[in-house]
Amino acid sequence: MSAMFRASTRQLALCARQSLTSSARRPTTAATRLVLPAASASYAIRFKSSNPQPPPRKPDENKDESFYSTKKSPQKQNDGQEPGEKEETPLAPGWVPATEEDIRQLMDIIRNTLPASKTALEAIEDMKTIGIPEELRDLLKRARPGGGGLKLKDFIRMPSLILNLADEVAKAKLEREQKMEREGKPGFKFDSRKPGDREAGQKEEGQQKQEQEQHGQKDQQQQQKGQGKKGEEPNVKTFGLSSQDMANWAFTGVLAYFLHRMFNPGEASREITWQELRKNFLDKGLVEKLVVIKDRVRVELNREAVRAMYPDSDAANATYYFSIGSIDAFERRLEEAQNDLGIPSSERIPVSYLSEGQWGNMLLAFGPTVLVIGLLYWVSRKAGGGGGGASGVFGIGKSKAKMFNHDSAVKVKFADVAGMDEAKVEIMEFVSFLKTPERFEKLGAKIPRGAILSGPPGTGKTLLAKATAGESQVPFFSVSGSEFVEMFVGVGASRVRDLFNTARKNAPCIIFIDEIDAIGRSRSDGGFRHGGNDEREATLNQILTEMDGFNTAEQVVVLAGTNRPDVLDKALMRPGRFDRHIHIDRPTITGRQAIFKVHLKKIVTNEDIEHLTGRLAALTPGFAGADIANAVNEAALIAARANAQTVEMIHFERAIERVIGGLERKSLVLDPEEKRTVAYHEAGHAICGWYFRWADPLLKVSIIPRGQGALGYAQYLPGDSYLMNTNQLMDRMAMTLGGRVSEELHFPTVTTGASDDFNKVTRMATTMVTQWGMSEKLGLLHFKQDENQLQKPFAESTAQVIDAEVRRIVDQAYKQCKDLLTLRKKEVGMVAEELLRKEMLTRDDLIRLLGPREWPDKEEFSKYFDGQIGTPPIGAAENTDTPEDNGPQPASKETPKDQA
């Protein structure tokens, strides 16, 4: 491209004129410089044979007369053409008939520039019916000899005009062909092949014809279909480029360059010697100017004179360079040469000096800046582009909410949401508000503005909101709280405004803001005070304002989801904003069973669904809906990996173990002594679980490493207990210490393996003392340490009491455990040795070794597990030796010493 830019406007015009002068002198088939492909010759012949020959014209006849136009004079119509055979097509505004000269010029241009020249040349065929744009006609005229010449901008403009023209004529051609096909006439087909190729191609055509006949009917149907669609663009074979996009700009640039090259044929650069310069040009007075570029000199010739001097060569079309040793030496030589030639000083050849690569230097200087600006522009377009149709840097304040409506994305129904019946009833009311507002309004009730859905992660808050949208069949705007937060102040508020404005326009509708705590945190929170988070505060204020701004006629319901309702700003929660607070907790056993049923619908299994779901629900206390969905999917994956035909119970159990305990680590090989320690440690837990009355039912014990750092585990089923009494807590703590106590009793030293057990026991004992009022010494006080506060909420003396009480309770649990394991030392040994042999023991194994458990188990446990825990070693289960304490409330106040 640099060659094009280097050329001055005057030069471009000059070159264009020269090239057109030369091409005008030659016959149509001779290209300006490039060799005309055979296709063009064939085109010319066929073109004439399939169209009536124009009447001979006088040489001085007006050249602009439309030779190819279908607007024929009456006389022309009579000349070899039946009137009415061709329809007259009115020209579009701004279009003029194309003259023979125009067509010829365009053919030259397209043939030499466009890669898809066949299509383009076909398109030119149709120009006689639709004409050409007037602007293009002007440019073509100016490009002719004496036409005034073209400027640089004309070269840039011309490609897009030609492309437009080609598109239009291609469309016209397609329409004409379709019409002819419909009328059963063979359409005009442009044949650009060489005569030899044509014969070879005739066979192919025969075949194609047959195929076409076969497909004829189908095509016709398709065409009819296509025409049925009103306003649809015909399927035109164009260059496939939109004039808008960047690709087209680049293409246009390249095309302009090629056009320029075409109008400036033969601008080849040639290296010559000083002697050749002197002999061929300097001595003959052909040099106009010399331009020194570092150690090279460009020779500018008087091209007209050169052409006259060397009529049979293309010397005039080349640019000449020669090298110099130094500028001084060159100047000296030049002076001597001019002295020799006797050139008077007033007519000496002008010499100019150019620093090399001016354009290159400019590119280096400004290139990076231009690149960065371009990149920023592009990034801003991309960033803004996603926001509800907004684009460009100005779209940053647009809301990023995704809009769904009933016939697009939201296919979730209330039936897909299981295990939260109360929440569903609450939220269903919103659906009725949106569907039949008059039912409530006639009684004077105000429609609630919104509801906050809170609860632990994965409990189905988002799912419930989606189901609400799916059921109410109104538009649903879903956005995450974090999408309002941007680094620019004011953007969040602007997005809130935009979201609510859009929602108002689409009322009745639902807005769902997920993770609202990202913006709805209490303004008195440390986060705001210390972080100076004006942006978040402004966003929150805007939400408050917008929710106030609704009137009852605007049926826009705002639902919000959060895991942290406790941190939300009180202003958000007041009636009139989020009127309803719907808490969604982890599902109960029946809830889990229902959720399993929902997710098992998509799973291929032959198990009895009722029993399967019941058992799985019993196996998964504490699971949220998302965990259940994950476990079911994991089971299907495990079954697929095993090439099973259906998903079986064993696959589900493995999946649950994997979800709880993590991946089995078969690669972790323990040495025999370590393995022995782990076996006795786990046997200690198992024996405690078996003999303590209030301990949770034991499912299995294993010494296969799993997950992160668990070398063995004992799996219990704590069930869904919502209250715990001190007996249960003490038994649980004693059971947790069973591993360490067993190590003490069976080995001369102890290991680090019980650290996590101590952590659990300490936490449990501390909570008993500080929160659950289970210490007589501390009494009925509740101290909860805020993690953000450095100060303790109690006095130093109270801290000492707490420490002493925690220690006392743990010691008590330790003693309880030690007493039992000393008594049952033999049983611990039996279980441990069996574990070393089998690596995993089930409840049945323990019954076999120890006899049935003395204490009755919970109902759901005996229903689903008695006599059925005989599954082969399935790897392992959870990595917790003892179930995690989820903070249930004590049922009765019983001091540890009360228990047996």
Ligand X SMILES: Nc1ncnc2c1ncn2[C@@H]1O[C@H](COP(=O)(O)OP(=O)(O)OP(=O)(O)O)[C@@H](O)[C@H]1O
Question: Known catalytic residues?
Answer: 682
Residue 885 Cβ, how far from ligand X at the closest point, in Å?
A: 23
Residue 409 Cβ, how far from ligand X at the closest point, in Å?
A: 14
Nearer Cβ to ligand X (416/579): 416
Nearer Cβ to ligand X (462/728): 462
319 forms bridges with which residues in the sheet? 269
β-sheet with 713-716: strand ranges across: 713-716, 698-702, 840-842
Q: Which of 749, 731, 887 minimizes the C-alpha distance to 809?
A: 731
Residue 608 Cβ, how far from ligand X at the closest point, in Å?
A: 21
Nearer Cβ to ligand X (393/415): 415
CA-to-CA distance for 564 and 574, rounded, in angstroms?
Answer: 16
Please provide the DSSP assignment of 58-103 as one string. Answer: -TTS-TTS-SS-S---HHHHHTTS-TTSSPPPPPPTTEEPPPHHHH
Q: Which of residues 72-111 bind ligand X (CB under 6 A)?
A: none
* 460 touches ligand X (CB under 6 A): yes
Tell me the per-residue interface mask from 430 to 459 with ligand X, x by CB under 6 A, - otherwise. ---------------------------xxx
Nearer Cβ to ligand X (376/415): 415
Counting residues that bind ligand X (by CB under 6 A) gives 19
Structure-block tokens of residue 628: 């259940």
Residue 32 per-residue DSSP state: S
Residue 455 Cβ, how far from ligand X at the closest point, in Å?
A: 6
Among 166, 595, 636, 730, binds ligand X (CB under 6 A): 595
Residue 597 Cβ, how far from ligand X at the closest point, in Å?
A: 9
Long-range CB pairs of 543-547, under 8 A, 24+ apart, other chains included:
543/496, 543/513, 543/519, 543/572, 544/571, 544/572, 544/577, 546/496, 546/497, 546/500, 547/449, 547/450, 547/576, 547/577, 547/578
Q: Which of residues 769-808 bind ligand X (CB under 6 A)?
A: none
Q: Within 13 Å of residue 161, how many CA atoms lie on the same side as its CB?
A: 22
Instruction: Report which residue type is found at 37.
Output: P
**Nearest 5°: CA angle at 681, between 679 and 686?**
90
Instruction: Report which residue type is found at 895.
Output: T
Residue 698 phi/psi, 5° resolution? -90, 135
Nearer Cβ to ligand X (538/659): 659
Residue 607 Cβ, how far from ligand X at the closest point, in Å?
A: 19
Count other C-beta atoms under 10 Å from residue 712's C-beta.
27
Residue 650 Cβ, how far from ligand X at the closest point, in Å?
A: 23
Nearer Cβ to ligand X (561/684): 561
Nearer Cβ to ligand X (187/457): 457
Between the CA of residue 342 and those of 23, 279, 616, what are the distances in Å? 40, 15, 111
Q: Which of residues 600-639 bind ligand X (CB under 6 A)?
A: 625-626, 629
Number of residues assigned to the chain: 900
Nearer Cβ to ligand X (317/459): 459
| SS3 assignment, position 884 | coil
Tell me the per-residue interface mask from 112 to 151 with ligand X, x by CB under 6 A, - otherwise. ----------------------------------------
Tokens 């049983």 label which residue?
A: 827
Q: Which residue number places its CB atom closest to ligand X?
A: 625
Contact 765, 806 (CB under 8 A): yes
Q: Which of residues 395-424 bind ligand X (CB under 6 A)?
A: 417-420
Residue 624 Cβ, how far from ligand X at the closest point, in Å?
A: 6
Nearer Cβ to ligand X (626/847): 626
| SS3 assignment, position 632 | helix
Tell me the per-residue interface mask from 512 to 551 with ligand X, x by CB under 6 A, - otherwise. --x-------------------------------------
Residue 418 Cβ, how far from ligand X at the closest point, in Å?
A: 4
Tokens 């082969």 label which residue?
A: 872
Contact 871, 715 (CB under 8 A): no
Contact 493, 543 (CB under 8 A): no
Residue 600 Cβ, how far from ligand X at the closest point, in Å?
A: 11
Among 20, 463, 638, 876, binds ligand X (CB under 6 A): 463
Nearer Cβ to ligand X (412/556): 412
Q: Which of residues 471-510 bind ligand X (CB under 6 A)?
A: none
Q: Which of 583, 585, 584, 574 minimizes the C-alpha distance to 448?
A: 574
Q: Which of residues 655-684 bind ligand X (CB under 6 A)?
A: none
Nearer Cβ to ligand X (516/761): 516
Q: For residue 323, give the H/E element and its range.
A: strand 319-323
Which region, judged by CB under 6 A, interacts with ligand X, from 460-468, 530-538, 642-650, 676-684? 460-468
* 304 Cβ contact partners less than 8 Å away, ≥ 6 residues apart: 316
Nearer Cβ to ligand X (215/564): 564
Residue 645 phi/psi, 5° resolution? -80, -35
Q: Which of 52, 192, 71 minimizes the C-alpha distance to 120?
A: 192
Residue 382 Cβ, how far from ligand X at the closest point, in Å?
A: 27
Count other C-beta atoms under 10 Å from residue 390's C-beta.
17
Residue 487 Cβ, how far from ligand X at the closest point, in Å?
A: 24
CA-to-CA distance for 187 and 192, rounded, in angstroms?
Answer: 16
Q: Which of residues 558-587 bind ligand X (CB under 6 A)?
A: 561, 563
Structure-block tokens of residue 713: 């585990």
Among 14, 282, 306, 598, binds ligand X (CB under 6 A): 598
Burial (CB count within 10 angstroms: exposed 0-12, middle 13-18, buried 19+), residue 677: buried
Q: Within 13 Å of residue 773, how many CA atoms lie on the same side as its CB?
A: 9
Tokens 């290159």 label which residue?
A: 360
Name the residues that contact ligand X, by CB under 6 A.
417-420, 457-463, 514, 561, 563, 595, 598, 625-626, 629
